[in-house]
Amino acid sequence: MKYLDEYRDPQAARKLLDEIRRRTTRQWTLMEVCGGQTHGLLRYGIESELDGVIELIHGPGCPVCVTPLEAIDFAQQLALRGDVLLTSFGDMLRVPGSQQSLLETQAAGGRIRIVYSPLDAVELARRHPDTEVVFFAVGFETTAPATALAVKHAFRDGIDNFSLLVSHVRVLPAMELLAQSPQNRVQAFLAAGHVCTITGYESYYDFADRFQLPVVVTGFEPLDLLEGILAAVTQLESGRSCVENCYSRSVRSEGNLIAQDIVREMYEVCDRPWRGFGTVPQGGLQLRDEWSQFDAAKRFNMNLSLPVIDDARCRSADVLAGRIKPTACEEFDRDCTPDRPLGAPMVSSEGACAAYYRYRNPQQVTSGG
């Protein structure tokens, strides 16, 4: 299939692997920021091929994983009101809240519907004027333009029964938090290709300079990932730390200006608690005051005063910050599986724990598969 097969060619991948091994003189520690990259690395066996050559630490780039418990709990309250139809991407439904997941809320009578685009949620609002339709707006800079557009369409068409429960996050502030940490071991970042498609990578120049860390904009297919790793290793071996684009078929340095404009028009930067991370300064987006009528948190009086706490056994905070590998968690594949997850990273299609569970080596399977 065009645009896929050429980036999955095993022979080309082997060549790149050989080149990475040849250039590497010591075991460097790289972080792939995005969970989609983590899944690619494990699905195609790149992680195990580079075992002992490069250490890959899995980053926090799983928007579903970092969505705060409070937001999930509030979404559940909305779904159970009766007059609200909560719409969401499918990924969000199995993520455990403090009591239950949205899927369980649905089984208990909550009104929840999976949509594939925020514009579908606007369409639902148009067709059901007696129902308050709320879209659970999670995601990085990649999904924010679409949710901003949804609000704009709703406003343009006079649809006043539509709102967003906004939990958008921004990736660069989280990378800064990681890089500043005294425990940081990451020596180079593979930046998330799809985020950079929107934001561009000019904002990374200052980051790379300040922390003296290479940043390589990297895609998601096996060859994309290997090229990203090779570029990072090449920089590290020659003592450089600059921003490099290895995903040029999708990313331009300035990004998508139209998407940036609409995000800026509707949203403003805010501090945001990330699940497992604590508050990330400037780590989120919220609707601007002039659009507050579309803000479900304001419309339905979301009460943020009650802090909720994750299951104490779950080490997702350590996983998301790259301090441990998912398999180092005592509960991995024991009390925590995708069917009965303790934390969000075991559920999401971008979660690191789910990636390790799904693509684990048969030798590591303890429960007999």
Partner 1 sequence: MLAHGEGGRLTRRLIRERILSAFGNDILESMDDAARLPAMNGQLAMTTDSFVVSPLFFPGGDIGSLAVYGTVNDLAVSGARPLYLTVSLILEEGLPIVVLDRVLHSLAAAARRTDIRIVAGDTKVVPRGVADGLFINTTGVGQLLETPPPGPTALQAEDELIVTGSIGRHGMAVLCAREELLLQSSLQSDCGPLWEPASLLMDRLGTRLRCMRDATRGGVAAVLQEWAESSQLTLEIEETRLPVSPEVRGACELLGLDPVHVANEGTMVVAVERDALGDALSVLHSHPQTCDAVRIGRGTERKLAAVVIQRGLGSPQPLDDPLGAPLPRIC
Residues that bind partner 1 (CB under 8 A): 1, 4, 8, 10, 13-14, 17, 43-46, 48-49, 89-91, 93, 103, 113-117, 120, 222, 338-339, 347-349, 354, 357-363, 365, 368-369
We find the least distance from the C-beta atom of residue 35 to partner 1, in angstroms, to be 12
100-109, long-range: CB < 8 A, 24+ apart: 100/76, 101/72, 102/72, 102/75, 102/76, 105/76, 105/79, 105/80, 106/79, 108/80, 109/80
Nearer to partner 1, 117 or 282 (CB): 117
- CB atoms under 10 Å from CB of 11, counted, come to 7
Helix (H, G, I), strand (E, B) or coil at 190: strand
Question: Measured from the CB of residue 364, what is the shortest distance to partner 1 in angstroms?
Answer: 8
Q: How far is the CB of 70 from partner 1 (least distance, A)?
A: 23
- Distance CA(289)–CA(23), nearest Å, equals 52
> Which residue's CB is nearer to partner 1, number 8 or number 323?
8
Q: How far is the CB of 333 from partner 1 (least distance, A)?
A: 11
User: Which of left, alpha, beta for 268 (phi over 0: left; psi -120 to 50: alpha)?
Assistant: beta
**114 within 8 A of 88, measured Cβ to Cβ:** yes
Pairing mode, strands 243-245 and 215-218: parallel
Task: State the nearest-atom distance from the C-beta of 335 to partner 1, in Å.
Answer: 17
* Residue with smaller CB distance to partner 1, 81 or 113: 113
Residue 289: Cβ-neighbour burial (10 angstroms; 0-12, 13-18, 19+): exposed
Residue among 116 and 182 whose Cβ is closer to partner 1: 116
Is 186 in a helix, a strand, or coil?
coil
- Amino acid at residue number 20: I
- Least Cβ distance, residue 43 to partner 1 (angstroms): 6
Phi, psi of 280 (to 5 degrees): -100, 115
Asked if 213 contacts 241 with a C-beta cutoff of 8 angstroms, the reply is yes
Q: Which is nearer to partner 1, 242 or 365 (CB)?
A: 365
182/369 with CB nearer partner 1: 369
State the minimum distance, in angstroms, from the CB of residue 10 to partner 1.
Answer: 6
* Closest separation in Å from C-beta 44 to partner 1: 3
Residue 17 neighbours by CB under 8 Å, 6+ apart: 46, 49, 50, 226
The smaller minimum CB distance to partner 1, of residues 180 and 327, is found at 327
Write out 241-308 in H/E/C secondary structure: CCEEECCCCCCCCCCCHHHHHHHHHHEEEEEEEECCCEEEEEEEEEECHHHHHHEHHHHCCCCCCCCC
Looking at the Cβ atoms of 175 and 347, the one nearer to partner 1 is: 347
Cα distances (angstroms) measured from residue 206 to each of 115, 161, 180, 215, 242: 38, 42, 14, 11, 10
**Minimum distance from residue 200 beta carbon to partner 1 (Å):** 24
Shortest reach from residue 306's CB to partner 1, in Å:
29
5 or 289, CB closer to partner 1?
5
When the beta carbons of 155 and 359 are compared against partner 1, the nearer one is 359
